[in-house]
Structure 1
Amino acid sequence: MAPRVVVIGGGICGLATAHRLVREGLPVTLLEASDQLGGLGTFFESRGRSAERFYHCVMPTDSALLALLDEVGLRESVGWRPTRMGMIVDGAHHSFNSALDLLRFRPLSLVNRVRFGVVSLLLRRLGKGKDLDLMRTEDWLRGLYGDATWSTLLAPMFGAKFGSAFGDVPALYLWQRLGRERNDSVRGYPAGGYKSVIDALRASIEAGGGEVRTSAPVRRLEAGQDRAFVTLDDGETIEAEHVVSTVPLPALRGIADEDLARRLPDVQLPYQGVVNTLFFLRKPLSGHYWAPVLRSGTDFDGVIEMSALTGTELHGGRHLVYVMRYTDRESPLYREDESSIARRWTDQLLSLHKGLTQDDVDEVRTFKAPFVEPVYPLGYLSLRPAVEVPGTRLLLATTAHVYPDVTSWNSSVELAGSVTDLLLRDARRSSTQENTAWPAESAR
């Protein structure tokens, strides 16, 4: 019999891993602690329709994600639209999409506007051949763009993403992000929302004989050289030949038994969480899909006008807007009551968009996630933990492992493929030694 695999975590990485393993004929049990699959792709109901708690989009360069969507019959459902970027600085709104927009961008002097445009066009090329993993983002960008542009625009934007350590993040992370986005204004979104992707993956896993459990938090994980044991909160213990953990390393340490905890990678990687407030509006804002908000009297530092990408039909003719702030899960903002945040951020959104009134706000919801963006230290390529935990049947597939790629559904799907290949190699070796039949690779 093929070895049983337990996948811990029902986000996109866990779902993609279980989907691929089931396609190879392995018995798989996927365990998700919450009552919903999807991780950051979870959703809520509003007026009988679903909406994601956290915003997502598909980039044309997301080849791994698009291939996965193809496998579950959803690739053709992705609708592609050109999107526009804005910039809100000191309360003033700016379009930020063309050379003409840049020339009109008053927060920078004319000389720095020209310099910004030239450097931005060449930035990807300027990083080639440099050891950007060991170069601070601040040192690289300040040297290229100059002090004024760094202080006025770039430092606030990186600070919003990574907190107080923003200048120390390796420049390689930004360079990889440029490779993903490639100045492409076109973005995609599945016709049925990301819930359709999650539902399709679950259906694929279960159709292949896999088991998917929600509301199944893991209390304890033991993993040795020959076997692993996963104990749930209700006391049930599942024996497995392999375990794939997709939960963040801090959470994994909380369930690992003493022996396994000593074997886990000694990487103390800090994470940024996020506070995210959604607005269903009766009219649009600026039409800009994405607009950073700098020094404008708001707690949030970015606005995503999702309906500029998805249209309004998904939400009953209403316009969906996300505003967010990345923050440590121990921060006062993260600990604040959601309803209090929603009231304050509503007032701040109204002050930022003068044509918007309280009557235009149909519904407001606030959500939080504690582990969203790892804050990578310099030289993380040499510190990045291995996927295989030595001396155990445990494999790791977390955001700590996707670097230098950008944290995204695409990089999670790529990681799931790598981990699946490693597990299949080991499982085939074991099956050969036991003279058991193994499904043909052509099943993929």
Structure 2
Amino acid sequence: MCLWAAHRDRRQPRNLQSLRPLLRRVARRARRTVTRYAVVGGGMLGLTLALHLADEGHEVEILEASDRIGGLAAGWTLGDTSWDRFYHVTLESDTNTRAILDRLGIVPISASAETGVFAEGKLYPITTNIDFLRFPMLSPADKFRFGLTILRGAYARDGEAFEQIPVETWLTRWSGKRTFERFWLPLLRSKLGDAYRDTSAAFIWATIQRLYAARSERGNQERFGYIPGGYVRVLAALSDHLTSRGVAIRTGIRVDSVGTSGDAIEIKLDSGQTEIYDRAIVTAAGPLASRICVDLPDQERQALADLPYLGVVCASVLLRRQLSPYYVTNLVDPAPFTGVIEMSNLVDPAELNGNHLVYLPKYVRPDDPLFDQDDETIRREFIDGLTAIHPDLTGADVVAFQVARARYVMAIPTISYSKRIPPFSTSNPNLFLVNSAQIVNGTLNVNETVGLANRAAADIL
């Protein structure tokens, strides 16, 4: 105490200390010249990057190929209901997403959610510990080992260690061969297809980590959140906010190539127009970035092209009634889709005009024939699959059915994947690549996407 007092008069006044970070930012901005950036891609990743760039006083244009911003977070109209094309939830631990929502003045709503599993032709609850103990598909010894598997994944903190072992090997070691073959393998195949053989245990570790984060403090209930109005509302507010900061958002702009013109970046559009920028950030998936970044060396482009991805074909089904009490139904039995996401068991049905919304996703490789099937064929197959789970479902219950497709959604976390991750910077000092392949040991969701944008912006700026 005396030592502190002896040096007290040398300390900065407390109010000046609190201003120092702000003063440093002002000084940096005063020294920095305004740079004209192009952000190729108007999903949540590109929008968040643009927000950081605008915050630093730069001139920003977002070039989005679609007729609307949002990417995987974009919405559409299903029957008389407007909601998200793909399913999204917000956990209480999603600090990156919640920081954006706070900035926009949007408060997510949290609710308890139940989970089910369809196995051997029956639906079973698997939400609470009691539900799990009653689950007949596994023996008491199998359940004990299964529980150890979950605890091991939930409390392990070094995700990189899980990259060194195949997911099949790790799950078999902890849960046993019988549990792997009867429970885990069907889930892996439904989520990853044959790619599960190339996938590291980091995939299941990241999945367990996120699901465990959704558990309540008592550990017997999952808590998920949703955005009132869906991500349509978030995107509208974010668009207005960016525009007010001087960001130009251009939709319906297809980029043919990103190259160089002297020290500048030259972007050629499919309209034949050429745009010149000081710097560009490309947020397209690795194989797409490889295709358009024509001036990068062959080795860089090939590394991007070789990144293995999964895509998704996701049906949105609007129903007149509830199917089950479960928000998520995991499928052990074979089905044409990966799982059943009954969004209206989380979202207030009033948000959906009294209807019930179900998502039926199917994760497949980008070259899977499912992407080329017409909507009517997918409708027949998926409705038949849904009826196998819920035999009382009739055609009269279906209000609307639409299919969303995305060929490049998530990079497959292969063995030692972190060694393959492309850096943000490229051999061109004015060209940067930021995409979901740079999410390491995590699941693809809005929170991870915003976090990736935060890290990339800190690196680029």
Q: TM-score, normalised by structure 2?
A: 0.87
Cα offset, 1:246, TM superposition: 0.7
2:456 to 408, 414, 419: 419
**TM-superposition CA deviations, 1:168-198 (whole Å, max 9, x none):** 3121232233333325211111112101111
**Equivalent residue number for residue 175 of structure 1:** 205
> Which residue of structure 2 lines up, in the alignment, with residue 109 of structure 1?
139
Report SS of the residue matched to 1:22.
helix
Selected match of 1:16 from 36, 48, 65:
48
Per the alignment, residue 326 of structure 2 pairs with 288
The one of 308, 330, 344 aligned to 1:270: 308
Give the Å deviation of 1:48. 4.5
* C-alpha deviation, 1:128, in angstroms: 5.0
1:79 corresponds in structure 2 to: 109
Which amino acid in structure 2 is aligned with residue 353 of structure 1?
Answer: H
* Matched-pair identity in %: 30
Greater shift in the superposed pair: 110-119 or 324-333: 110-119
2:239 to 186, 189, 202: 202
Provide Cα deviations, 1:76-109, integer angstroms capped at 9, x if missing partner: 2x00011111000122101011222112212212
Mapped partners of 1:158, 1:188: distance in 2: 26
- The answer for unaligned runs of 5 or more in structure 2 is 1-32, 216-221
Residues 176 and 405, structure 1, Cα contact 8 Å, conserved in 2: yes
Q: What's the counterpart of residue 267 of structure 2?
A: 230
Shift of 1:272: 1.1
Q: Who is 1:397 aligned against? A: 434
Q: Equivalent of 1:335, from 368, 372, 382?
A: 372
* SS of alignment partner, residue 451 of structure 2: helix
Q: Deviations over 1:119-141 (max 9, x none)?
A: 32343335759821111111111
Structure (1 or 2) with the larger CA radius of gyration: 2
1:279 partnered with 2:311: no
337-346 or 347-356, which moves further after superposition?
347-356
Give how far 1:344 is off: 2.2
| Structure 1: gaps of 5 or more residues | 425-444
In structure 2, the partner of 1:54 is: 86
1:373 corresponds to which letter in structure 2?
M
Aligned to 1:153: 183
Work out the CA distance in 1 between the residues paired with 2:300 and 2:430.
12
The equivalent of 1:438 in structure 2 is none
How many residues matched?
421
In structure 2, the CA distance between the partners of 1:68 and 1:182, relative to structure 1 (3 Å rule), is same
Q: Secondary structure at the match of 2:146?
A: helix
Question: Does the residue aligned with 1:134 lie in a helix, a strand or coil?
Answer: coil
Q: Is the 8 A contact 2:159 2:205 kept in 1?
A: no
What is the identity, as a one-letter code, of the residue corresponding to 1:220?
S
Distance 1:344 1:163 in 2: 18
Who is 1:136 aligned against? 166
Q: Using the alignment, how far apart are the partners of 1:270 and 1:119 within structure 2?
A: 27
Q: What secondary structure sits across from 2:404 in the alignment?
A: strand
**Distance in 2 between the 1:60 and 1:178 partners?**
16
Question: Which secondary structure does the structure 2 equivalent of 1:231 belong to?
Answer: strand
**1:99·1:117 contact (CA, 8 Å) conserved in 2?**
no
Offset at 1:261? Answer: 5.1
Does the CA-based 8 Å contact 1:155-1:167 persist in structure 2?
A: no
**Partner residue, 1:92:** 122
Check whether the contact 2:153–2:209 (CA below 8 A) recurs between aligned residues: no
Distance 1:128 1:36 in 2: 39
Letter in 2 for 1:414: G
- Further displaced range: 324-333 or 309-318: 324-333
CA distance in 2, matches of 1:156, 1:2: 53
Deviation per residue, 1:275-330 (Å, 9 max, x gap): 1111111111111111112224x211200000011121122100000112111232
1:218 to 230, 234, 255: 255
Query: Aligned to 1:120, what secondary structure does the other structure show?
Result: helix
In structure 2, C-alpha distance between the alignment counterparts of 1:271 and 1:129, rounded to whole Å: 20
The equivalent residue for 2:400 is 363
Residue 195 of structure 2 corresponds to residue 165 of structure 1: yes
Match of 1:125 in 2: 155
1:27 aligned to which of 59, 78, 102? 59
- CA distance, structure 1, for counterparts of residue 168 and residue 322 of structure 2: 35
Q: Aligned match of 2:363 in 326, 331, 344?
A: 326
Asked if structure 1 preserves the Cα contact closer than 8 Å seen for 2:159 and 2:202, the reply is no
* Cα 1:250–1:67 shift into 2, 3 Å: same
Alpha-carbon distance between aligned partners in 2 of 1:82 and 1:129, rounded to the nearest angstrom: 28
User: Is the CA contact 1:59–1:186 (under 8 Å) kept in the aligned structure 2?
Assistant: yes
CA change 1:292–1:208 in 2 (3 A) is: same
Aligned counterpart, 1:190: 227
Deviation (angstroms), 1:225: 8.0
Deviation string, structure 1 residues 345-395 (Cα, Å, up to 9, x no partner) = 112212311232222211111221101121122111122111111233111
- State which drifts further: 278-287 or 175-184: 175-184
